[in-house]
Structure 1
Amino acid sequence: MKKFIAILLVSASQFIVAQYPKDYFRSPLDIPINLSGTFGELRPNHFHSGLDIRTNNQEGLPVYAAADGIIVRIKVSTFGYGKALYIAHPNGYTTVYGHLQKFSDKIEAYVKAEQYRQKSFEVELYPSTLKVTQSEIIALSGNSGGSGGPHLHFEFRDTASEKIINPMAFGMNKLIKDTYAPIVSSIMVYPVNDSTYVNKGNVPVSLSLQKQVDGTFLASKVFANGKIGFAINSVDLSTNSYNKNGIYKVATYVNGSPNFGYEFDTFAFDESKHINYFIDFNRYKKLKQRFQKLFKKEYYPLSIVNHNTKDGILDIKSGSNYTYKIEVFDFHGNKTVVNIPISFENAPANKLITTSNANYYIKAKSDYNFEFEKTAVYLPVNALYENAYLNISEKDGVLDIDNNYEAIQNGLTVSLDISHLSEEDQKKAFVANVYGLKLDYNSSFRKGTKVSAKIKSFGKFKVGIDNVPPRIYNPNFIEGSNISKLSTLSVSISDALSGIDSYNAYLNGEWILMEYDYKTKKLVHNLKDGKVIPGKNEIKIVVTDELDNVTTFTSNFIY
């Protein structure tokens, strides 16, 4: 019966993948496909939603439409996917192409016309008449937006629901050579509650691993009583890539019976924020190690888990022995197996009772408002995933919220008194994260004599003031010079604190398009736009930061 259930669960997973068309879509690039990122890969504050395809560390490769369709969305953004295209296909799926350098001529002309009409580099457009055919060149690959290096982000979505789907399920796995099994580098075992002991302690324990002659791994034996759970630190490699990518699927068994599992086939965008609950967030913040938890508690906001299995929590009973097996897969079926022997052990006679020095106990299902002399913090219902102890205090106008790295589900609202500031400084005040002598900006709003911000991480907060305007520097032309041999006009822009909010350029009094790349801090105007006139031209660039500090640059040149 146990074997039948295990086969049934594997078959159900295979059925989900099998429902997608395998030969409908082509590769978006004409080069061998090597990956720098996989679907569901663990990233800061989110799961990766597609494949990152390496472009040999270069930009400008032709990007092809994966199938016939209509371009339904075009987004140009300083951050995120940068320049991105969304193509809806008649079979009910949408493909997404991100971090592009530029669009094809017909798309570029449409986008640029809209940018000039809206007088904005950043645009989000929803055309309905831009049709493409399979293998049509739609763009050139690039490094735009929040990209860390040249590559193509390639993504699949269900058009109706907008749920993200693993591109491998559409046959993209056939384009990638992968004979390497996932790597499980370490395993943690956790006491799930205060009455559980693991290896005579009530704290997480790291297990050692030894490779066996059959290729599986044997972990050091666990001695426990009460309820325990496990987590793995695991990555996957592919044959022609050195990147440490995300795994596809995990299945666990207790004495041969299915216990817990998940697979990255599909998820909704609003689930991505829950990654900090999926991992051991405390360990990640301290050691930058992402351990994926193989158990869930009562509240679990992720659909990737196999709901036909149990919760992953083992209740270790007196007189019993257990074998806990972990199977880790990549999409090509390569598998790594770890076996963990577990035995019951009585709790130590002198129990070490861990006490908290925190001054507040926060229940996740309640809301709280803490007010101090000059600061306040509001925690809404479900601000946290679980009940937790928090240290909340104020000293010298600094609000300190510290709880040893608890993951936040919904943002907290921090409010700070600014009545002591001049009226002018109040307009420039914001809620700042305090890191020693360094202040980091939080998008803030004022109401009366308070400034507030919604925050998503604990720390120290105080009033910051930004009255320093942005910088405009390093123009690629000299005042009064002849620029006839240039193809672009460019300047660098930066802001020391609150960050760039807007930038506008005017040539002879008329708005012109300048593209902004925050990574290089460059604003660039393409002279092919045809906005310069023969003879003398005047350019004016106006840059504003988030707190309305303004800098203006004016210069003349000859063309």
Structure 2
Amino acid sequence: MRFVICFLLFSASVLAQTTFPKDYFSPPLDIPMQLSGNFGELRSNHFHAGLDYRTLQREGLNVRAAGDGYVSRIKISPFGNGKAIYITHPNGYTSVYCHLQRATDAIESFIFKTHYKEKSYEIEMFLKPGELVVKKGQIIALSGNTGSSGGPHLHFEFRDSKTEKVINPFLFGFDKDFKDTKKPTVSAVYVYPVDSKSSVNRSKRPLLLNLSLQKDGSYLANKVVANGKIGFGVSAVDYNNMSANRTGIYKLQTFLNGKPNFGFQMDTFSFDEMRYINALVDYARFKTTSQKVQKLFMVNPYKLSLIKTDDTNGVITVVPNLTSVYRIEVSDFTGNTTTISIPISYDPSAPIVEKEAVVSNYFIKVNKDNSFAKNNMSVFFPAGTFYEDFDMNFDAKGDALYLHDGTIAVHSNFTITIEDGKYTDSQKEKVFIADIDKSGKLGYNTTYNKDNVFTAKVRSLGTYKLAMDTTAPTISIGNSIEGKWIISQKTIQLSINDSGSGIKSYNGYLNGNWILFEYDNKTRKITHDFKDGVVAEGANDLKVVVTDNVGNSTIFETSFFRSQK
């Protein structure tokens, strides 16, 4: 019965694809599609929500509206999507354009006025129908490299306007001119003993399987001999004919003795599901080796709607007198498929290789609240903080709190509390709970203080301590403009940095009036463009104030002359 339900769900998913309009939208760029990232691709802590269009390794390409509609949202940030424009279309979908250099015409004018109205570079605006109407093919922006972009490109998305779920653009016909005759590449297949009673090839540790290419283009793995409960994982990417970039796979389906066992298809998902990527992948392997292995089983089922599975959640129980064949099919959107077959048989032999030892003094149960305390430090993990039960190492020594290590994936926030009475009231304002990386660098976490108790909500395991930041940010200018005429310069650019708690805010003033400085977090530079028209004819006084997360501030002042003629 379960198999029938899963089959119906899968069939409904396939059928639903035909409901997406294939010819309604047009491409956002004038150049042929070349992708550096595709929908559903595995990223750090999230699935990629759209297509990354290559832009000839430069900025300034025309970005066009994919369809008629109105600008419903604009968000400008030095992080994430950078400069982003959202267009809501009358057919129930919203298109999203990110990492833009700037908007054009009426949209750019609206953004400019909002910057100065709110006196902030970081802004977010929600607009009503009719405020900024656009037509299909209209130039709405120029492509750029803003936010957390790793290079010039356009990130492009489709969303359901009501649910905000992201949808694979290929479902709207964007694969029409996208040539792909290459099968996905499987670089590794692993087999996992799922619990303490299981073993694989006489080992209680995950093992890499050897694959051999068959005449028909499929792969055959060496026989797996095991007992107890086991699962598999695969590391796979895809390539296409249009560029040399590797991208993510579209579909994965496993079969046990011919019956569907575990699978997913990258069609649509919600932003609330993003972090479940850390449950899907072998997180410990990723953190230690950077290899992304997608686990094809769930020990504790998690709410990722992409996954369709049978009653076993992809876990295979190997029993005597039964030989099985496990098959993995990895496909791209075009249908190119790579197949791996794995024979499985029972082996009663005792394991030779034991499970890797873990230093621990506590056991975490996923579905229960967990609280631990030692000396002046404590931690509280609400139920559901983690994906799987695990042996945890908790300790407090000296001024540091040790919470296992970063190889365990964390789904939601947990609370750290440290009590310390050595700080004066004025010092407490500069104190925060810091995470410490392997190099010893401190990271800032928003910290609250009451009396002598400091608390912070964090989202990763590791080492924490109290830190005090009394050092103000730095501000510098490449070439001094003090007392100079700068007629030919189009911009003023300053470098800002903070080695302690990090920069919280920055503000510039020209002749006492607030001016817009755009912040590039990648280069840590702020830039004012004279085209804003705020600069005065002749003498000008510039003042820049930069403040860190605990309130330390630095003021930079200079004077210069400029002629706009």
Question: TM class by shorter-chain length?
Answer: over 0.9
**1:142 has 2:134 as partner:** no
Q: Distance in 1 between matches of 2:237 and 2:156?
A: 20
Secondary structure of the residue aligned to 1:116 is helix
Structure-1 residue corresponding to 2:538:
535
Q: Distance in 1 between matches of 2:358 and 2:532?
A: 64
Q: Is the 8 A contact 2:301 2:313 kept in 1?
A: no
Q: 1:217 aligns with which of 208, 216, 219?
A: 219
User: How much does 1:477 deviate?
Assistant: 4.7
Q: Is the 8 A contact 1:260 1:306 kept in 2?
A: yes
Q: Is the 8 A contact 1:9 1:308 kept in 2?
A: no
User: How much does 1:165 deviate?
Assistant: 0.6
Q: Distance in 2 between matches of 1:206 and 1:349?
A: 17
Structure-1 residue corresponding to 2:254:
252
> Do the aligned partners of residues 539 and 105 (structure 1) sit closer, same or farther apart at CA in structure 2, a change above 3 Å counting?
same
**1:235 has 2:224 as partner:** no
Identical amino acids, percent of aligned pairs: 45
Structure-2 residue corresponding to 1:551:
554
Unaligned runs of 5+ in 2: none
Q: What are the equivalent positions in structure 2 for 1:277-292 lying under 5 Å apart?
A: 277-292=279-294
Q: Distance in 1 between matches of 2:553 and 2:466?
A: 21
Structure-1 residue corresponding to 2:186:
184
Normalised by the size of structure 2, how large is the TM-score?
0.95
Amino acid across the alignment from 1:304: L
Q: Distance in 2 between matches of 1:367 and 1:62?
A: 52
Amino acid across the alignment from 1:438: K
Structure-2 residue corresponding to 1:368:
370
Amino acid across the alignment from 2:58: Q
**1:447 has 2:454 as partner:** no
Structure-1 residue corresponding to 2:504:
501
Aligned residue-pair number: 559
Secondary structure of the residue aligned to 1:85 is strand
> Do the aligned partners of residues 117 and 350 (structure 1) sit closer, same or farther apart at CA in structure 2, a change above 3 Å counting?
closer
Q: Distance in 2 between matches of 1:120 and 1:83?
A: 14
Q: Distance in 2 between matches of 1:366 and 1:301?
A: 18
Q: Distance in 2 between matches of 1:353 and 1:335?
A: 34
**1:399 has 2:386 as partner:** no
Structure-1 residue corresponding to 2:75:
75
Moved more, 303-312 or 364-373: 303-312
> Do the aligned partners of residues 211 and 2 (structure 1) sit closer, same or farther apart at CA in structure 2, a change above 3 Å counting?
farther
> Do the aligned partners of residues 4 and 239 (structure 1) sit closer, same or farther apart at CA in structure 2, a change above 3 Å counting?
farther
Q: 1:275 aligns with which of 274, 277, 300?
A: 277
Q: What are the equivalent positions in structure 2 for 1:329-368 lying under 5 Å apart?
A: 329-348=331-350, 352=354, 357-368=359-370
Q: Distance in 2 between matches of 1:280 and 1:22?
A: 36
Q: Distance in 1 between matches of 2:4 and 2:433?
A: 57
User: How much does 1:349 deviate?
Assistant: 7.5
User: How much does 1:297 deviate?
Assistant: 3.1
**1:461 has 2:464 as partner:** yes
Secondary structure of the residue aligned to 1:173 is coil
> Do the aligned partners of residues 218 and 5 (structure 1) sit closer, same or farther apart at CA in structure 2, a change above 3 Å counting?
farther
> Do the aligned partners of residues 100 and 460 (structure 1) sit closer, same or farther apart at CA in structure 2, a change above 3 Å counting?
same
**1:486 has 2:486 as partner:** no
Q: Is the 8 A contact 1:224 1:316 kept in 2?
A: yes
Q: Is the 8 A contact 2:49 2:166 kept in 1?
A: yes
User: How much does 1:386 deviate?
Assistant: 2.0
Q: Distance in 2 between matches of 1:526 and 1:351?
A: 64
Q: Distance in 1 between matches of 2:365 and 2:5?
A: 37
**1:171 has 2:180 as partner:** no
Structure-1 residue corresponding to 2:105:
105
Q: Is the 8 A contact 1:375 1:397 kept in 2?
A: no
Q: Is the 8 A contact 1:6 1:257 kept in 2?
A: no
Q: Distance in 1 between matches of 2:3 and 2:464?
A: 55
Q: Distance in 2 between matches of 1:300 and 1:430?
A: 33
Q: Distance in 2 between matches of 1:184 and 1:207?
A: 12
RMSD: 2.0
Amino acid across the alignment from 2:178: I
Deviations 1:487-523, CA, capped at 9 Å, x for gaps: 1111111111211111111111111111111112111
Structure-2 residue corresponding to 1:381:
383
Unaligned runs of 5+ in 1: none
Q: What are the equivalent positions in structure 2 for 1:203-214 lying under 5 Å apart?
A: 203-214=205-216
Q: Is the 8 A contact 1:475 1:489 kept in 2?
A: no
Q: Distance in 1 between matches of 2:456 and 2:279?
A: 23
